[in-house]
Amino acid sequence: QVQLVESGGGLVQAGGSLRLSCTASGLTFSWHTSGWFRQAPGKEREFVATISWSGSSTAYADSVKGRFTISRDNTKNTVYLQIDSLKPEDTAAYYCATVEATSPITILTQPNDYWYWGQGTQVTVSS
pLDDT of residue 28: 85
CA 25 to chain centre: 16
pLDDT tier, 50 (very low <50, low <70, confident <90, very high otherwise): very high
Query: 9-41 burial string, b = 16+ CB within 10 Å, else e?
Result: beebeeeeebebbbbbeebebeebbbbbbbeee
pLDDT digits (tens, 9 = 90+) for 112-124: 999 999 999 999 9
- Do the beta carbons of residue 50 and residue 108 sit within 8 Å? yes
Write the CB contacts of 75 (distance below 8 Å, at least 6 apart in sequence).
none
Mean pLDDT of 22-38: 94
Gyration radius (Cα) of the chain, Å: 14
Query: What is the 3 state secondary structure string of the chain?
Result: CCEEEEECCEEEECCCCEEEEEEEECCCHHHEEEEEEEECCCCCCEEEEEECCCCCCEEECCCCCCCEEEEEEHHHCEEEEEECCCCHHHCEEEEEEEEECCCCCCCCCCHHHCCEECCCEEEEEEC
pLDDT digits (tens, 9 = 90+) for 59-96: 999 999 999 999 999 999 999 999 999 999 999 999 99
